[in-house]
Chain A
Amino acid sequence: MRYIFKYGTIGRTTQAGDEAWIDEDMLKHRSDAPLLVDLTEIIDDGGSIKAGAYKELFKLKLFGEKPQVIDNASGVPTLADAEANAGRKLGAPAQDPDIYYCDLTGAATGGTPVATVFQLMRALYAGDINPTPLAAPALPDTPILGTFLDTLPVELYNSGIFDPNYTDVNIENVLGNDVYSLVPKVTEAYSTAYSVVDGVYGKRAMIMENMGGGQRTESAGHECAMHCMLSVLTGNVGLRGNGVDDNTGWALEFPGFQPGDFGFPGTDTAIGSSMTLLKAATVTGKHDIPFGTMGRRALAAANNTPYKTYIKKENNAENDPFIGFWYLTTSSLLTQFPNTNALKAALCAADCVVTAKPQWNTDADYCDYFLPITTPFEYDDVGAHIRNKYLHLMESGVKPYGQARSDMQVFRELAKYVFDDPAIIRSFDHDDVDYVKDLINNPANNLKANGISYGDGDPETDLKIKKTIRPKAVFSPFVPLRHRSFWLESRGLARAHFFVDAWAAGAYKTNIDLNPNPARDLYRGPFPRYVPALQSHLDWLPEFPFDDAWYDAMEANGVSEDIRLDYRKIREKYPLANVQIKVLRTVHASFTGMPWIREAFGQEGIVLINPKDAASLGIYEGETVTVKSWIGSVERKAKLTNLIKQGVTAIENGWWDKYGKVSSSTVGVELPGALNNAHTHNNTLVQILKGGISFNGNAEDTGVK
């Protein structure tokens, strides 16, 4: 285990002692927190912001991109030059805007009452615009609960449902005396991660990788908001070499689909629009971390070496981050992402890796801290997804094992330690049931008009009674977390935006680059804008080494002859086209750790081979073979079947290192293409060798430990 504390990093300024995690420097100089909001519409006669002001947000205007600065000589607030502030380096003693100042008198703005964005944000959460100094967080001296293992019911050990002996995790290494006593440590790692790029101290870099339990639920919007908020408030975005990456699910899950396209209820709007998070790696907007190439890029970043694609298309050393903090929430990185070996190395090189998930799979073996997460059957939420026309009330059916908590609960704990600020904590602090109630009954969400309520006893609309409701096709915009929304874009000087520009425009829409659709724009709401990831087939067209059509395309795109010839050689050496199929037992890798499941669905990974191919290779049914691509090898049992075409092989995706001899993603190359929608699993050319990996002398290919 490699946990390293990074105390006293640059830019970690404090408000009230050394223990405050909030990064005011970031807020003042790299976000819109100090910008002024025109409060004309929401000031009451007494000169105070009206209660429930968020309802009037659409009437607000951004006064201008000018941070408010206190003139040290006179004490009079003035409007400073935003460019001058935003462009300077962190820590430089230049103009220092005040994020807390409220000028209801309009002295600085010619009579217009204003508040800073940060101030307004806190006011909207707390119903209180008076700035409150940040206090030091109180870290607990004693463990919160007993040990995780002690809290597991004994019968679970014997049932075959949960058996620590079957996990990939060295429990003693991963678990402390108490799981949630780790939260303060995780928080510290989160808040103090740093990056070094080209020898330049670049402050922070983290990957928030979330395909969590909230992915297809309404709490996803809340989780997204927390991800965004925390990362900005702690200064984890906005500088070269750092960023936050919603790498797995959300942002990729929802491009181009909006309720206006299908006549579906507005529930999708809430999730879909909050999917777009802070894009990773750079603030230049040049590239994110496409998950197809994530392993190699992250590894290059960790080693501070140039990232190179196979055709050496680009040298991205300048943009690759050192990953200081990697938060894996439920997504199964080492069974799903291509080039598993590179990912393993990258995880080992990262400063601090936190794995938070229900199952203790291979990912947990590479983490510094493991936090047990509930399954969707163990907490309350509202299910909604673009693939579903209905809202579902998700009620917990069983109690969580041990100390397991929902993704949102865990992240909320983390948030509490980051900000010991009641105003901000309040926006995070709901238990699951409260959250569901608030989500549905909050007038701002306008669900009652769509035929949905919670707990009011109406047999036609009460989700608590009906459990599943299809909202009316005609709906008003349903935007939960509207007042918690958040927008970041890498605009110019990479200022993180708390203030939604749409508010200032007075229109309830944002710019959407992807598939412009006026109706959809109308329903879009003030949420983060979707920025398509740079991994569409058009981006990768020249790199797709599959057939002559692609070869010709490479030529048409100016790819040099030697590189094209390389691809021909690759095809000769790796003659079989490999696809990845799911293990039958479950979605992805979820239940591999359960002995009953493995018993029912088989203990060993297989490779499907057409009998004619097998005959030419001299491979028998059930024989151990090695499936080898140019980036890795896996060992499988051969299964001869006519169900697969000649020239194609298939291996199962979803095995853990400990079971089934590593995941198929180990051989998956990093070239997403047109047919696989950014998944690269089906772009891999392989050769099949008789015998296992050790027999073939490729034991090192099994992974980096």
Chain B
Amino acid sequence: MDKRLAFLIDTRYCNNCKTCEIACKMERKLPIGVRWRVVRRQEISGIQSGMNNPHTVYNIPMSCNHCEKPACVEICPVNAYKKTPQGPVIQNQSVCIGCSKCVSACPYSAPVYNPKIMLTGKCDMCYDRIQEGLEPYCVQCCPNNALKIGYYEDFVSAYGVHQDIDVVPYTPAVPPTTPNDSGNGYSILPDPAITNPSIVIVTMKNNPN
């Protein structure tokens, strides 16, 4: 089986500058309110992160994770999504009917409904750029090299298996204060077994050096 392309998210270097978000919007000409890549923040206590710092913040710039078992492909009623052999999950927006079922189905909330055109869209790993031998624009623009594109298998061999995503498990550091408040410390990442995402997240825990 060919290697699959994947994003490497190195939380050691991401400082939440959001250049990747802006770069994505510029490259894909997204209107206000539509973001395909979002830097998610996770605050956890030091013990939970395996570090000595009393408090730790993980910045996780995440877009579509181009899963091996993509929920969007499964649920789309018009078969707009396709898992390509190289790895990227791409969408044929011309057949999209804007039903937003993919938005609900994706455990990472990667597809985003665009009210301006009443259709749904998502990161396709800059598929056109990849065909030309270029990096995705977010990767190219990241000033800290916190985002990389490469083969999932290579990333895993270098940094660990994909289960290392779960270095920030559900750990309610602060009790919820309202019914709608999940408190500080809740996990922002679902179980990777659901869709087998093509990302590797590097943290201080699995790569302390």
Contact of A643 among B22, B33, B57 (CB under 8 A): B57
Please, which residue of chain B has its CB at the minimum distance from the CB of A621?
B181
State whether the Cβ of B16 lies closer than 8 Å to any Cβ in chain A. yes
Per-residue CB contact flags for chain B residues 12-36 toward chain A (1 = under 8 Å, else 0) read: 0000101001100100000111010
Which residues 378-394 in A have Cβ within 8 Å of B in the complex?
Answer: none
Q: Give chain B residues whose Cβ lies under 8 Å from the Cβ of A596.
A: 22, 25, 32
Q: Flag if A642 contacts B35 (CB, 8 Å).
A: no
Per-residue CB contact flags for chain A residues 614-648 toward chain B (1 = under 8 Å, else 0) read: 11000011100000000000000000111100000
Q: Flag if A622 contacts B57 (CB, 8 Å).
A: no
A584 to B174 CA separation, bound complex (whole angstroms):
24
Q: Flag if B33 contacts A599 (CB, 8 Å).
A: yes
Q: Give chain B residues whose Cβ lies under 8 Å from the Cβ of A640.
A: 174, 177, 184
A584 to B21 CA separation, bound complex (whole angstroms):
14
Q: Give chain A residues whose Cβ lies under 8 Å from the Cβ of B31.
A: 160
Chain A: residues with Cβ within 8 Å of the partner, total of 19
A596 to B173 CA separation, bound complex (whole angstroms):
32
Q: Flag if B184 contacts A611 (CB, 8 Å).
A: yes
Q: Flag if B184 contacts A600 (CB, 8 Å).
A: no
Residue pairs across A and B with CB atoms within 8 Å: the count is 44
State whether the Cβ of A595 lies closer than 8 Å to any Cβ in chain B. yes
Shortest A703–chain B CB gap in Å is 27
State whether the Cβ of A585 lies closer than 8 Å to any Cβ in chain B. yes
Q: Flag if A611 contacts B174 (CB, 8 Å).
A: yes
**Chain B contact residues: over half helix, strand or loop, or mixed?**
loop
A597 to B18 CA separation, bound complex (whole angstroms):
9
Q: Which among A595, A600, A621 has the greatest number of chain B C-beta atoms within 10 A?
A: A600
Please, which residue of chain A has its CB at the minimum distance from the CB of B181?
A621
Q: Which among A584, A585, A599, A641 has the greatest number of chain B C-beta atoms within 10 A?
A: A599
Interface size range of chain B in the complex: 20 to 34
Shortest B163–chain A CB gap in Å is 27
Which residues 430-477 in A have Cβ within 8 Å of B in the complex?
Answer: none
State whether the Cβ of A3 lies closer than 8 Å to any Cβ in chain B. no
Q: Give chain A residues whose Cβ lies under 8 Å from the Cβ of B178.
A: 620-621
Please, which residue of chain A has its CB at the minimum distance from the CB of B173?
A642
Q: Give chain A residues whose Cβ lies under 8 Å from the Cβ of B16.
A: 584
Q: Give chain B residues whose Cβ lies under 8 Å from the Cβ of A600.
A: 18, 21-22, 35
Shortest B56–chain A CB gap in Å is 9
A554 to B184 CA separation, bound complex (whole angstroms):
41
State whether the Cβ of A201 lies closer than 8 Å to any Cβ in chain B. no
Contact of B184 among A584, A595, A620, A642 (CB under 8 A): A642
Which residues 172-209 in B have Cβ within 8 Å of A in the complex?
Answer: 173-174, 177-178, 181, 183-184
Per-residue CB contact flags for chain B residues 85-99 toward chain A (1 = under 8 Å, else 0) read: 000000000000000
A611 to B183 CA separation, bound complex (whole angstroms):
10
Contact of A599 among B35, B55, B173, B174 (CB under 8 A): B35
Per-residue CB contact flags for chain B residues 30-53 toward chain A (1 = under 8 Å, else 0) read: 011101000000010100000000
Q: Give chain A residues whose Cβ lies under 8 Å from the Cβ of B57.
A: 643
Please, which residue of chain B has its CB at the minimum distance from the CB of A622?
B181
Residues of A within 8 A of B (CB): 160, 584-585, 595-597, 599-601, 611, 614-615, 620-622, 640-643
Please, could you name 8 A-B residue pairs with CB atoms under 8 Å apart, sorted by A? A595-B32, A596-B25, A596-B32, A601-B18, A614-B177, A621-B177, A641-B43, A642-B45
Apart from the given pairs A585-B18, A611-B184, A643-B57, 20 other A-B contacts in the complex at a CB distance below 8 Å: A160-B31, A584-B16, A596-B32, A597-B22, A599-B32, A599-B35, A600-B18, A615-B177, A620-B177, A620-B181, A621-B177, A621-B181, A621-B183, A622-B181, A640-B174, A640-B177, A642-B43, A642-B45, A642-B55, A643-B55
